A and B are shown apart, each in its own frame.
Chain A
């Protein structure tokens, strides 16, 4: 029996449409529920006021600040380290047992549950290095946690830059470093940016590793040695301990919106960086 090709085509198209709508649909429903439940409680005061009575009353300003500080500082530490490692792995070494071990290590690290990073951070940074529950301990822990993502995505992005561009660069008497910084990296930036975006998402949404290292105090961290909590932690504690579901949903909404804003801002900054380059 011959199947009508036009019919098959229609069927496949329909199926794929359904899958796409389904995926996007779930996302829309989640965001809609958060908006619906959270919007009534989000106002100027909620964003800029300090929490009172464990978060039952007042706003979430310290946790917004804590989230931004934690994410930005972690990215600031992890990006040069991760991109540097990726450059080393792709441009400055030959494939060998040594690079394979590094790669295997990186991949294994990417698969470790975040709570283990939290435990490590607690034992090493908080206790051993006597940092206490602090922004610094949190930042260092999150840095280690997001490094594998940044290394892997940067490596892929750098590898994807056509080899002939490097050859041309050398033929124009560029050194290896000039080739890497002025030819390879600008072409790889969109890919590297993707890794940074994913990492911001992980840092902002992380709870376990943060509670263990940055603590969960409600104050505004004003130095690297202060403890604090992020929005995700705040949300988790409010909901988990049944303190206030209203405030929890409000926090969730602010969290979602801020992830959106961070993405937009990062794209804007990167575009600016790219156009400055060329």
Chain B
């Protein structure tokens, strides 16, 4: 696909002898939310971890096929360079407990030893927190530790931390699964707002969430990409019988 931020080309992943992903093809255009849904253990989390090569932290993994980030081969890049371009938000909110809110936002810079002037950092912090819809709630205590924030606020802080690095794509690994309904809907609204500037790949096993926030949806089942296309189309006229059964709650 032209102009695609992320292209996955006949991609397979193995944990030991176990094949977790089978010849997945996928293309995510710029400034959209693409949702990956499927039952637990289907390989959707593995797929996004392969995008920033986090799977390499686990022993005995290998991959076949290709992935491109803005036409650059992900698997010939240095992982460090790649991860600078790919932001990630995890299931459980996980701000660094030893750092202040301010330092959490610029943690990516601090960890990498990237220096900026105080003023630049102030701007990055404000902008990232505004983008994550958290600025108004925390602007008066930026230099306090982030641990007293609510779960939803902590997760938005983590989103701000990922955004601060100006990622080319933002990976969201079930980002609302540990949150209450109110925080969840706040964050879902945030994603819709964010796609003006960022492309997002969202793993969810909440069908409603995929329907609410995504432009494209992929249905993955036992390591295979069953169906991928515009969300509206898939939810109204699914092509594959398994997709239809999943969407209507017959399994998963």
> Hey, which bits of chain A sit against chain B, CB under 8 A?
94, 162, 164-165, 167-175, 178-179, 182-183, 186-187, 274, 277-278
Q: Are A175 and B54 neighbours in the complex by a CB distance under 8 Å?
A: no
B98 x A172 contact (CB < 8 A): no
Residues of B within 8 A of A173 (CB): 79-84, 108, 111-112, 165
Q: Given A167-B54, A172-B107, A178-B112, check contact A187 B80 (CB 8 Å).
A: no
Name the residue on A nearest B114 (C-beta). Answer: A173
Please indicate the chain B residues that have their CB under 8 angstroms from the CB of A187 in the complex: 97-98
* Residues on the A chain within 8 Å of B158, using CB: 168
Tell me which residues across on chain A come within 8 A of B88, comparing CB atoms: 168, 171
B90: A residues at CB distance < 8 A: 164, 167-168, 171
B 142-184 to A, binary, CB cutoff 8 A, 1 in contact else 0: 0000000000000000100110010000000000000000000
Point out the residues of chain B lying under 8 angstroms from A174, CB to CB.
111-112
**Assembly CA distance A274 to B100 (angstroms):** 12
Docked-complex contact B57 and A170, CB < 8 angstroms:
yes
Instruction: Determine if A186 and B83 form an interchain contact, defined as CB atoms under 8 angstroms apart.
Output: no
In Å, the complex CA distance between A200 and B101 comes to 35
Name the residue of chain B whose CB is nearest to the CB of A94. B59
Binding site for A on B (CB under 8 A): 52, 54, 57, 59, 79-84, 86-88, 90, 92, 94, 96-100, 103, 107-108, 110-113, 158, 161-162, 165
Q: Is the CB of B165 within 8 A of A170?
A: no
Per the bound structure, the CA–CA distance linking A171 and B94 in Å amounts to 12
Q: Which residues of A are found within 8 Å of B84, using beta-carbon distances?
A: 173
**Measured between alpha carbons, how far is A172 from B82 in the docked complex, in Å?**
10
Which residues from A are CB-within-8-Å of B52? 171
Give CA–CA (A46, B108) in the complex, Å: 55
Which of B92, B100, B111 is within 8 Å of A169, CB to CB?
A: B111
Q: Cα distance A171–B53 when bound, in Å?
A: 9
B57 to chain A: which residues have CB within 8 Å? 167, 170
Shortest CB–CB separation between residue B213 and chain A, in angstroms? 21
Query: Contacting B92 at CB < 8 Å: which of A164, A172, A179, A277?
Result: A164
Q: How far is the CA of A62 from the CA of B161 in the complex (A)?
A: 54
Q: Is the CB of B111 within 8 A of A278?
A: no
**Which residues from B are CB-within-8-Å of A164?**
90, 92, 94
Contact (Cβ within 8 A) A175 B80 = yes
The listed residue (B96, B113, B162) touching A165 by CB distance below 8 A is: B96
Question: B80 contacts which chain A residues (CB < 8 A)?
Answer: 173, 175
A186 to B99, CA, bound (A): 9
Min Cβ gap B99→A in Å is 5
The contact sample of 26 A-B pairs, CB cut-off 8 A, is A94-B59, A162-B94, A164-B94, A165-B96, A165-B97, A167-B90, A168-B90, A170-B57, A171-B52, A171-B54, A171-B83, A171-B87, A172-B162, A173-B80, A173-B84, A173-B108, A173-B111, A173-B165, A174-B111, A178-B112, A179-B111, A183-B96, A183-B111, A186-B98, A277-B98, A278-B98
Known contacts A172-B161, A173-B108, A183-B111; 17 further A-B pairs (Cβ under 8 A): A94-B59, A164-B90, A164-B92, A165-B96, A167-B57, A168-B94, A168-B96, A170-B54, A171-B86, A171-B90, A172-B107, A173-B165, A178-B111, A178-B113, A182-B110, A186-B98, A187-B97
Of chain B, the residue at the smallest CB distance from A278 is B99
Chain B residues whose C-beta falls within 8 Å of the C-beta of A171 in the assembled complex: 52, 54, 83, 86-88, 90
Contact residues in B for A168 (Cβ distance below 8 Å):
88, 90, 94, 96, 158
Of A169, A172, A278, the contact of B103 (CB 8 Å cutoff):
A278
Chain B residues near A167: list those with CB within 8 A.
Answer: 54, 57, 90
User: Which single residue of chain B is at the shortest CB-CB distance from A163?
Assistant: B57
A165: chain B residues at CB < 8 Å are: 94, 96-97
Bound form: Cα–Cα A192–B158 in Å: 28
Measured between beta carbons, the chain B residues less than 8 angstroms from A179 are: 111
Give the shortest distance, in Å, between A57 (CB) and chain B (any CB): 52
In the bound complex, residues from chain B placing their C-beta under 8 Å from that of A175 are 80
From B83, which residue of chain A is reached at the shortest CB distance?
Answer: A173
In the complex, A266→B80 CA distance in Å? 37
How far does the alpha carbon of A164 sit from the alpha carbon of B98 in the complex, in Å? 14
* Max count, chain B CB within 10 A of own CB: residue among A174, A274, A278: A278
Q: B81: nearest residue on chain A (CB-CB)?
A: A173
Asked whether, in the complex, the Cβ of B54 is within 8 Å of the Cβ of A172, the reply is no
Cβ–Cβ contact A182 & B83, under 8 A: no
Q: How far is the CA of A278 from the CA of B79 in the complex (A)?
A: 26
A115-B54 Cα distance, complex, nearest whole Å: 50
Given the complex of chains A and B, what is the CA–CA distance between A183 and B140 in angstroms?
Answer: 25
With A167-B90, A172-B107, A173-B80 known as contacts, the answer to whether A278 contacts B100 (CB < 8 A) is yes
Q: How close is A191's CB to chain B, nearest CB, in angstroms?
A: 13
